[in-house]
Every structure is written in C-alpha cells, then in structure tokens.
C-alpha cells in the first residue's frame, strides 16, 4: 500500500506536492469515488485511480539533464504561451516536468523527469539539497563580502542559511565566483550577491546534489546514466532522512 499522492506522482501526473493539491481539490477518484485525503493508503496494482477523469498508470521513469539557456521558463506549460524548458526536448511520449526551477535569465543544470517522489525529495525546502552556482558579478568581492555570504544573509523573505563562496577569476571590472547554497527561494542567489554590493551579470547552475553539468552545451540535454540516477536517489534519501531527524530533535 502507498499514499495516494505518491501513487499519482509515481504515474508522472505531477510532483508529490502538486499531486496532494489535486487530491484536496476533489479532482481524484479511487475506484470511482472522489477522495480528498492525499495520505489515503492505496494499492496501485488493485485500485483504479483517476485524475480529472483519466486513469493514471505507472510509467517508466525518465531522468534527463538539461543545460537550460537563458529565456525558457522552468515549467511544463505556460498559460501565456511563452517558451518552456520542455520545448527544448522535442516530442516525447512521457509526461515530464522540471524538478525545481531556474529563473528565465539563469542558465545551467536542470533535472527533467517524471519521477514525482524524487522531485519531491530534491525540491522540498526542508531537505536542503546542495546547489552550486557560478556567477559573474560586478567588481571583485572582498574577503568581508565572502564572509557575509558564507554566514548567511537576511533578505526581505528571511534568512538564506549558510553557504560557501569563493572567487574563481578576477577581471578588470568583474569577477567570476562560485556560490554553494542549500535553499532555493526566488532569485535568492542574485539577491544575496546584490546585498553584498556585487550585482550578478550572468548566472549558471553547475551542480545539484551529486549531479554535475559537465560539458553539456546550453540548450542540449541527455539521459542520466544508471550510476547518476543511483547517486541522485541515494543523495535524496539521505537528505530526507537528515531532515526527518532534525524535525524529530526539534520536537523533543
């Protein structure tokens, strides 16, 4: 038996949090009856599950790495018809979606998958998945600016948490630096760097957990290797376990 929201996510309909929203909205039936409890135990091999009148069925899992260029939106569809990252993949039979987001003007590594459970583990803020960015910034950050970034910065929507920051290259009017963070709030990296006086000129994500971008060119994608998928799942499991342990300690 599995939670209903997990069954829907495993079928590639939506990530687990979105699947839970679909259930709460009354858009899901189990064996013909409307269900509104995402945690309802369901046997996917015996029960029929329908979302918006369409039966959901397990599908083969797909894991793609995309080097997102500037421009496309990190979403499966846009109501205004703007280009999305899925437009870069060509025609595919599977229902895929991005595991997380990158701003339209940010490049770099984006995981595209139909594995709702893995997407949930990698994108839930509590799991603090490590992400690495390369940023070209105005000027050259001082040691004091790097320390502020590493200690964390309080933005208008809260504390960023600690990070790691280092300079990779210094030019005449700009510098290339690497920033490692564990949160993923909207435009957070850009706001952090602006807060220490070094606005971003260009931003690229190079790593998510154990998954690295490598030499994949902008706009191109490839399937993950079996070893990469295994490493990503193991990392996500550890992140989830760590978050659950921290939550348990806070309750005591």
d(CA 76, CA 117): 17
Residue with tokens 């083969």: 60
Q: What is the DSSP annotation of 94-119?
A: S--EESS---TT-EEEEEEES-HHHH
Q: Do residues 236 and 118 lie in contact, with contact meaning Cβ atoms separated by under 8 Å? A: yes
In this structure, what token pair is assigned to residue 97?
């979606």
Mean pLDDT of the chain: 93
Q: Do residues 115 and 161 lie in contact, with contact meaning Cβ atoms separated by under 8 Å? A: no
Residue 18 has pLDDT above 70, yes or no: yes
Residue 252 has pLDDT above 70, yes or no: no
In this structure, what token pair is assigned to residue 2?
């599995």
**pTM listed for this prediction:** 0.81
Tell me, yes or no, if 50 is annotated catalytic. no
DSSP 177: E
DSSP 183: -
Catalytic: which of 103, 105, 115, 156? 103
- Give the residue-averaged pLDDT of 204-211: 97
State residue 58's pLDDT score.
Answer: 77
Q: Where are the alpha helices (DSSP H) in 71-225?
A: 116-123, 143-151, 188-195
Query: pLDDT for 55-66, tens place per residue?
Result: 988 778 899 999
Number of neighbouring beta carbons within 10 Å of residue 184: 18
Q: Is 198 exposed, middle or buried (0-12, 13-18, 19+ CB in 10 A)?
A: buried
Query: pLDDT for 70-118, tens place per residue?
Result: 999 999 888 899 999 999 998 887 789 999 999 999 999 999 998 888 9
DSSP 132: E
State residue 176's pLDDT score.
Answer: 98
Residue 212 has pLDDT above 70, yes or no: yes
Cα 112 to the center of its chain, rounded Å: 9
Using a pLDDT cut of 70, give the percent of the chain over it.
Answer: 100
d(CA 236, CA 157): 26
Residue 216 has pLDDT above 90, yes or no: yes
d(CA 154, CA 91): 43
Using a pLDDT cut of 90, give the percent of the chain over it.
Answer: 75
Query: pLDDT for 113-169, tens place per residue?
Result: 988 889 989 998 899 999 999 999 999 999 999 999 999 999 999 999 999 999 999
Q: Which domains does the chain have, with CATH numbers?
A: 2-55 (3.10.290.10), 63-125+220-246 (3.30.70.580), 130-208 (3.30.70.1560)
Q: Give 3-state DSSP helix, strand, coil % of the chain, rounded to 5.
A: 30, 30, 40
């Amino acid at each position: 038996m599995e939670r209903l929201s997990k069954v829907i996510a495993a079928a590639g309909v939506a990530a687990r949090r979105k699947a839970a929203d679909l259930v709460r909205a009354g858009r899901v039936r189990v064996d013909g009856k409307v269900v509104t409890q995402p945690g309802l135990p369901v046997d996917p091999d015996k029960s029929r599950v329908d979302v918006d009148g369409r039966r959901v069925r397990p599908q083969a899992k797909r894991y793609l790495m995309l080097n997102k260029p500037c421009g496309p939106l990190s979403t499966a569809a846009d109501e205004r018809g703007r280009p999305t990252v899925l437009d870069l993949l060509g025609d595919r039979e599977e229902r895929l979606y991005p595991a997380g987001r990158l701003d339209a003007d940010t490049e770099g590594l984006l995981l595209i998958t139909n594995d709702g459970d893995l997407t949930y583990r990698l994108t839930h803020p509590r799991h603090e998945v490590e992400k690495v960015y390369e940023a070209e910034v105005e000027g050259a950050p001082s040691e004091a600016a790097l320390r502020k970034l590493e200690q964390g910065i309080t933005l208008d929507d809260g504390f960023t948490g600690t990070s790691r920051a280092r300079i990779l290259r210094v030019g005449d009017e700009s510098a290339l630096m690497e920033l490692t963070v564990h949160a993923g709030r909207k435009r957070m990296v850009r706001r952090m760097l602006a807060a220490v006086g070094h606005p971003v000129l260009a931003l690229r994500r190079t790593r998510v957990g154990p998954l690295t971008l490598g030499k994949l060119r902008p706009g191109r994608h490839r399937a993950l290797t079996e070893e990469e998928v295994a490493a990503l799942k193991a990392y996500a499991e550890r992140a989830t376990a760590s978050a659950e342990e921290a939550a348990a300690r806070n309750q005591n």
